[in-house]
Structure 1
């Protein structure tokens, strides 16, 4: 008979969390640089910030940082102070990196189809790193969880409805083919999250 040994989940150290958040923010920022180079859009709060950036000419970083400010109180009430601090660090780092990276990264040739897939994979890995270290990129996900607690309305549906609105507005600012490539990237990103974000397998906290 095989002996079953109960495992105590390993906890991340402060250094573990720091490198995980740094990796997540860096990869997310690189994804945004690719996204804006191609003129694509995405969902969630980042998608809203990108649309505002396209429409106004304002830089993505400051817009993204400001949009997230109202969500931290909800994050504190729903997920605690540690989550808010880590998320604020991730959002701040991402906002800053998106202002710096374009000075050092450029693309001579990048087909939108391949770019969309790469953006989805890179951004998905970034979010996985943040989730596994108790952080996020803020925004709509926090509101979705809060509404689910208060009203029972499923968080996934809230995010889906928000993304539908973002892509609907995108059709007013970008051409149909660009929005289609953007949708491909969003699908890839969500597949990466769905297939790899498994709390029953990943037990470190």
Structure 2
């Protein structure tokens, strides 16, 4: 018996969306711990925030929160308040969790290869959960979802393309090995999104 995709008529409840946002953000916050333990970076706005935090000593959470602010205007105008508020909540929660997690546990002696793989998987799964509950972590994620809804491009393709630009710029600031290990994590993240975030394979919506 063959099961065909159904129309997206089932919707998440508010409680389901809330637990999805908390779960997704927690997974991404965990990925940041792996990256920081190995002094790696990632793509998108989070990557730019990490790059800025290392030499300046500024808090990742603060830089990440501030860099995302301009993208909210785009989200409000092009996608709507519902999506924007969820994304704002997710970004604020991530900023807080990244600051709080090191007080609960610490990572040390992590090989950069292991950190890249674990960070890529946890962030990819976390973003996938957020996408499926009508939220992102701002920045390029907003543009990626908007383009996927209106063009033939997929969110993973858009994010991976932007990440390649970020890592090219990082070559001028960081050691080659750091950039290459970081790129591995970003590729894993975006392969997870590219493979799993497809509207023809997912029914429930927010």
Assess same fold via TM > 0.5. Answer: yes
Equivalent pair of 1:55/1:173 in contact (CA under 8 Å): no
Name the count of aligned residue pairs: 204
Question: What's the offset of the Cα at 1:131?
Answer: 0.1
Runs of 4+ deviating beyond 4 Å: 1-8, 143-150, 154-161
Instruction: Name 1:13's counterpart in structure 2.
Output: 13
Gaps of 5+ in 2: none
Instruction: Name 2:83's counterpart in structure 1.
Output: 83
Change (3 A) 1:8 1:54: closer
Instruction: Name 2:37's counterpart in structure 1.
Output: 37
Shifted more, 88-97 versus 191-200: the winner is: 191-200
Question: What's the offset of the Cα at 1:5?
Answer: 10
Question: What's the offset of the Cα at 1:65?
Answer: 0.3
Residues 79-128 of structure 1: CA deviation (Å, up to 9, x unaligned)? 11110000000000000101110111212332111111111110000000
Residues 28-62 of structure 1: CA deviation (Å, up to 9, x unaligned)? 11111111111101111111111111121101001
The 1-side partners of 2:5 and 2:109 are apart by 53
Change (3 A) 1:109 1:166: same
Tell whether 2:189 aligns with 1:193.
no
Instruction: Name 2:69's counterpart in structure 1.
Output: 69
Change (3 A) 1:199 1:109: same
Change (3 A) 1:9 1:175: same
The 2-side partners of 1:133 and 1:111 are apart by 33
Tell whether 2:173 aligns with 1:178.
no
The alignment's C-alpha RMSD in Å is 2.9
